Structure formats: C-alpha cells, structure tokens
Amino acid sequence: MKPPTIRAVIVDDEELARTALLDQLARHPEIEIAAECTNGFEAVKAVAELKPALLFLDVQMPKLNGFEVLELTGSDMAVIFVTAYDQYAIKAFEVNAVDYLLKPFSAARFDEALARALEQLTRKDFSRSAELLTFARSAAAPLERILIRNGSDVAVIPVGTVDYIEAQDDYVSVAAQGKKYLKPQRLSDLELQLDPKRFVRIHRSYILNIDRISRIELYAKDSRIVILKDGSQLPVSRAGHEKLKALL
C-alpha cells in the first residue's frame, strides 16, 4: 500500500457527509486524514495547527461558514467545496475554484475533483483559492461581523459594536468596545463589505460608524474633525464630509 503523502482536513457539520468523504478517500491511500471538524472554529484551529495541503470544506455550517473559514485560513492549500447547496457553484467555477462537489456525488465525480486538487498541489499554484476568497468577501456583503484570527483563536466582532476602522499599511485596526484588533486586509476591501448606510469612508485612512458621531467641528479651512461619543477624534476629508452630509 502506498504510504500517505498528502495531509487533508475534512470540515462538515454532518456526520453522514464526513463518512461519505472518508469512504471515498479510503480508495486513495496517498491521502492522510489529519482531522475531521464539525464547525468553522474547529476548522480554523485544525488548519493553523496541522497545515494541511488539502481541505474538504462545507459551505453552510454553524459558527463560521465555509467562506469565512477560507478568509481566516488563507489560500496556500487546495480547497474542494462539498455542499448540498448549489447557489454558489456557478460563481465558484467562474473564478476557477479547485472544484465544487454537490451532495450526493458519485465516486467518479469525487475522483475528478481530487485529481484537480492534486494537480494544483503539484504546480504549487494556489491563486484560484485566493480568487475564490475575493468572491466570497464580495458575495457576503454587507458584513454582519468581522472575523480576526490570532494564531488558532478567532475574534468575532459584530459590526454594530465597531466604532471606527483605521488603515495601517496592509492592515486595518478595528476599534470596538474600547479595544483595537489588527486584521491583515486593505481598508478599501473592507469598505466594500460594510453597509454603506451605516459605515462611511470619512478619510483615506478611516471608516466611521455614523451611530458613534457626537458632533462634527471645523478644524481649519476646509478641514474638519468628527468627535465620537467616547471622545475620540478623527479627521474628515472634504469628500468624507460630503458623504456624511448626505447621510445625516
């Protein structure tokens, strides 16, 4: 028997679905099942600790969905979605996902998906997973929560608790309930995911939750600052002030 050479993680909240995958993978001794996860939090922890090359990932799960798992785990692995829902399939193929298996699937269809994943691993080209993640972010807008990973731990921040978000090079700093969380993401990308009726880009470096505004003051000629209910002060550009006037 050929020894396992590829580490894989299975993520699905349904035991029968995990069993179906295990049955198929039993015919492929080159695949080592490193972990079975029943929810998104377990998946993020397993990927961080085990560094699998291959991820079998359900979409609809408790706690974190499949797209959120991808956002938190990065794109340096081959990902095969395995789901009973087909509404994401067309777009996933448009952005060249490794594959998208609809339950129930045949052995031949599974082998086809696995072959595509192994080919990607051979090439060490994971750009398709990154493209899928870009789609997932845009498809999920507006966000209801912001997810921030710290090692194998995940902070879940409801957007209603966010005061403002500040750009810091290739990161954003999310200020919420007296704390700040650092997330590797561009401010412009996060802006597209937030509700534009609630969150406004007031400056090239700041997005503001308008519910936190106490008042807006003139700082200098054509320059303003917004003072939040907690006393924080943020700069407001001319364009940002026009956006605020349109909403307030």
CB 37 within 8 A of CB 62: no
In a domain, 30, yes or no: yes
What are the φ and ψ backbone dihedral angles of 24, each rounded to 5 degrees? -70, -40
- Domain edge (last residue) among 100, 115, 138: 138
In a domain, 1, yes or no: no
In a domain, 34, yes or no: yes
Do 206 and 98 fall within a single domain? no
CA-closest candidate to residue 197, choices 185, 187, 186, 211? 211
Q: What pLDDT shows up at residue 74?
A: 72
Q: What pLDDT shows up at residue 165?
A: 98
Do 104 and 23 fall within a single domain? yes
Q: What pLDDT shows up at residue 2?
A: 62
pTM of the model: 0.77
In a domain, 240, yes or no: yes
Do 48 and 107 fall within a single domain? yes
Q: Please name the residue ranges forming H helices in the chain.
A: 15-25, 40-50, 66-73, 89-94, 107-123, 127-139, 187-193, 238-247
Tens-digit pLDDT string for the chain (248 aa): 566 689 999 999 999 999 999 999 999 999 999 999 999 999 999 999 999 999 999 988 888 888 888 888 877 889 898 988 777 665 555 555 688 888 999 999 999 999 999 998 998 877 655 555 666 566 555 888 999 988 778 899 999 999 999 999 999 999 999 999 999 999 998 998 899 999 999 999 999 999 999 999 988 777 899 999 999 999 999 999 999 989 88
Q: Rounded to an integer, what distance in angstroms lies between the CA atom of residue 230 and that of residue 236?
A: 17
| Count, residues in the chain | 248
Tokens 């998906």, residue located: 113
Question: 152 in helix, strand or coil?
Answer: coil
Q: What pLDDT shows up at residue 39?
A: 95
CA-closest candidate to residue 174, choices 187, 137, 40? 187
Total domains, the chain: 2
Q: Rounded to an integer, what distance in angstroms lies between the CA atom of residue 22 and that of residue 2?
A: 17
CA-closest candidate to residue 112, choices 83, 80, 89? 80
